[in-house]
Amino acid sequence: MSTNSVFICDALTGGDLFLNKVQNLIVSSEEATVQGAVYRSKVGFPFLAKSGTDSVQGLLVRLNPSDMCIHILDELMGFFPQNPAQGLTHREVVKVSTSNGSVEAFVYFLNSEKISSELKYIENGDWQRVLVEKPPLPQKLTERQRNYIQKLGKSSGRDIVPIDLALYRELMNLELVIDKGRRIALTKLGQEVYRYL
């Protein structure tokens, strides 16, 4: 790994999933900015795109250097080094600005081929304000809804996971489940929500 620093500003920041997964590898962190644009996914989390001129706030995290560290980062951020075009993100080393000057760090940018009409541009890259005003879908679910999504996500394709009518209607209205005849399955959006639970 040419650097042991990574700039965090994406879907994983919103739920602290990234920081929880690499907590034992973190040496230090500080506020930082990078140039780009931020888009919000249907699930509600922000993604950083390279094409843009906004000064995007984030966190510069310094990690213990380790051979496994880059693999963990790539997996968490949806980057496939063997086939970058297939990944949700791509990884680049870019200059990141901190209060102490600029440093080089890994930045995981949204794969430009994944930018679709479902993603909404966030003015001025102010993703933190947007998350406060309108929390991501996984954070708005009730405990009952979360538990069912988790059970369904862990089940095999042919398992039948019982559901009551009221919960069924709630999850159908949120477009998280689909009725496949004799069983309920997660929609694509439901699968993405399950990833963050």
Q: Mind listing the pLDDT tens digit for each residue in 12-67?
A: 444 455 666 677 778 888 899 999 999 998 888 888 999 889 999 988 988 887 76
Give me the count of residues in the chain: 197
Domain with CATH 3.10.490.10 in the chain: 5-133
| pLDDT tens digits, one per residue of 99-130 | 989 999 999 999 888 777 788 999 998 888 88
Query: What number is the average pLDDT over the span 2-13?
Result: 68
CATH architecture for the domain at 5-133: Roll (3.10)
Q: Which two tokens stand for residue 42?
A: 């249907």
Cα–Cα distance measured from residue 98 to residue 8, given in angstroms and rounded to the nearest whole number: 13
- The three-state secondary structure class of 190 is helix
Cα–Cα distance measured from residue 12 to residue 76, given in angstroms and rounded to the nearest whole number: 8
Confidence check: pLDDT of 141 > 90: yes
Cα–Cα distances in angstroms (integers) from residue 22 to residues 18, 49, 74, in the given order: 6, 23, 12
pTM: 0.79
Distance spanning both ends of the chain, measured CA to CA? 30
> What pLDDT was estimated at residue 17?
58
